[in-house]
Amino acid sequence: MTARSLKIQKLITLFILGVIFYCTPFFSLFNVDKEFLGVPVLYLYLFISWGLLITLTAFVIEFPRMKSLNSSK
């Protein structure tokens, strides 16, 4: 039960991270008229952060035993 609630807490944290990515002024940092390697920075930001979010979620779901950093045992 605790492992499950820990997973839920992690997922909710990721939800909040997503909200920070797309629904807070953090977003406006990347809303600039610039390009990186030819691709507009905003597009890069959106897709990279999106991919990151999915990867993190996959990690939380698939590797529930990855504990916090300070308890290696």
Partner 1 sequence: MIQNWAIISTSLLYLGVLFAIAYYGDKRAQENRSIISNPYIYSLSLAVYCTAWTFYGSVGRAANTGVGFLPIYLGPTLMAALWVVVLRKIIRISKKNRITSIADFISSRYGKSPILGGIVTVIAVIGIVPYLSLQLKAISISFQIISTHPGIHVQGEPVFHSLFDDTTFYIALILALFTILFGTRHLDATERHEGLVAAIAFESVVKLIAFLAVGIFVTYGLYNGFGDVFTRASRIPELEKLFTLNKEVTGTWGDWLWLVFLSMMAIMFLPRQFQVAVIENVNEKHVEKAVWLFPLYLFVINLFVLPIAFGGMMHFSDGSVNPDTFVLSLPIVEKHNTLALLVFIGGFSAATSMVIVETIALSTMFCNDLAMPILLNLKFLKLDQRKDLSSLLLFLRRSSIVLVLLMGYFYFRFIGEYFSLVSIGLISFCAVAQFAPAILGGIFWKGGSRTGALAGLIAGFIIWVFTLPFPSLVQVGILPERILTEGLFGVGLLKPYQLFGLQGFNPISHTLFWSMLFNVGLYVTISLYSKRSGIEQTQASLFVDIFKYTGGVEFSPTWRGTAPVKELHSLLRKFLGEPTANRLFRDYARKRKINLKETFEVDADFVQFAEQALAATVGSATARAMISTVVKEEPLSPDEVKSILDETQQVIAYSRKLEEKSRELERATAELKAANQRLQELDRLKDDFVSTVTHELRTPLTSVRAFSEILYDNTDLELSQRQHFLKIIIKESERLTRLINQLLDLQKIESDTMDWNIERIDIVELVKDAVQATSQLMNEKSITLDMNVPDQPLYINGDPDRLTQVMLNLLSNAIKFSPEEKGLITINIAREGDQVLVSVKDNGIGIRKEDQGLIFEKFRQVHNPVDGRPSGSGLGLAITRQIVEYHQGKIWVESSPGLGSTFFFTLPLASEMAMETSPESSEQPQE
Interaction site with partner 1 (CB under 8 A): 7-8, 11-12, 14-15, 18-19, 22-23, 27-28, 31-33, 35, 37-40, 42-43, 46-47, 50-51, 53-54, 57-58, 61-62
Minimum distance from residue 43 beta carbon to partner 1 (Å) = 6
Q: How far apart are CA 37 and CA 4, in angstroms?
A: 42
CB 32 within 8 A of CB 42: yes
Minimum distance from residue 2 beta carbon to partner 1 (Å) = 15
CB 66 within 8 A of CB 59: yes
